Amino acid sequence: MIKFRNELVLPLVFMIAAVVVLVGHDATAKRTEYAPASHVATVDLSKLFERIEINSAWEIQLSSMTDNLNAEASARQEALARQIESAESAADDVQKQKIRDAAALMKLELDEWAKLKQVEVDRERALMWKSMYKAIREQATALATTDGWDIVLVNDSLGELALNEQVQASREQQILTQILNRRMLYASEITDITEQLIVRINNLKP
């Protein structure tokens, strides 16, 4: 009886082992099935920002806006200076104090106006960068679709590591931060599509 059981158990064990081996082999085979190689392109973002015409249009607009604000700021400061000077020639102390109070109010209004205009300029500059990045991303997608690129990466391996004496961080920390922020060590020139992308963006209708 015991011998009969052994004769049944041993084949069953071998069958289970065989199934485990087959399943393991199948799982391993699936894990080693690699995706097809991707076609990768790279872009020099700094060069793009420098040479796309949409950047020039924004810069002209922002420059005009800044010039107008500077002119208005100068006019307000001159008016404040005249108000302060007039206090010195006032007939009596009461009149002087009134003029000084008015000048103090003008100074507060000037400060608030300057803060408001600074926010406006900052908002316009943010819109500029957002608009440029949107154009770059859309045209990079279109170019990749046309030319068969699967991935388009920003080539951040370009340029040397630099130190900024105005920054509070130590020199070592500045260098380490730049190293850790980079994601690429090398990219062949044949992967660079910056020039094609510049042409596409500059050919966009306004």
Answer yes or no: do 24 and 106 share one domain: no
- Half-sphere exposure (CA, 13 Å, Cβ side) for 126? 6
Alpha carbon distance 55, 133 (integer Å): 10
Query: Do 120 and 174 lie in a common domain?
Result: yes
pLDDT of residue 142: 95
pLDDT of 87-122, one tens digit each?
777 777 778 788 788 888 888 988 998 999 899 999
Measure CA 51 to chain center. 17
Stronger pLDDT, 58 or 203, i.e. the higher one: 203
Q: Does one domain contain both 26 and 67?
A: no
* CA distances, 11 to each of 8, 15, 74 (Å): 6, 6, 99
At 167, list the tokens: 């920054």
Domain that holds residue 21: 1-34
pLDDT of 159: 86
Section 63-70 average pLDDT: 88
195 and 105, same structural domain? yes
pLDDT: which is higher, 199 or 4: 199
pLDDT band, very low/low/confident/very high, at 84 (cuts 50, 70, 90): confident
Residue 14 banded pLDDT, cuts 50, 70, 90: very low
Instruction: Place 140 in a pLDDT band, splitting at 50, 70 and 90.
Output: very high
Do both 5 and 87 map to the same domain?
Answer: no
Are residues 29 and 92 part of one domain?
Answer: no
**pLDDT surpasses 70 at 57:** yes
Q: How far is CA 174 from the centre of its chain?
A: 19
Mean pLDDT of the chain: 81
CB atoms within 10 A of CB 43: 22
106 shares a domain with 47: yes
φ, ψ dihedrals at 168, nearest 5°: -75, -25
18 and 53 part of one domain: no
Q: Is the pLDDT of residue 196 over 50?
A: yes
In angstroms, rounded to a whole number, what is the distance separating the alpha carbons of residues 154 and 184?
9
My answer on whether 60 and 96 are in the same domain is yes
Distance of CA 37 to CAs 77, 150, 151, Å?
Answer: 64, 9, 11
| Domain match, 22 and 42 both | no
Q: How confident is the model at residue 33 (pLDDT cuts 50, 70, 90)?
A: low
Q: What's the gap between Cα 112 and its chain centre?
A: 30
Instruction: For residues 44 and 14, state if they share a domain.
Output: no
CATH number for the domain that contains residue 125: 3.30.910.20
26 and 52 housed in the same domain = no
Q: Has this prediction a pTM greater than 0.85?
A: no
CB within 8 A of 183, min separation 6: which ones?
153, 156
Tally of structural domains, the chain: 2
pLDDT at residue 6 in the model: 46
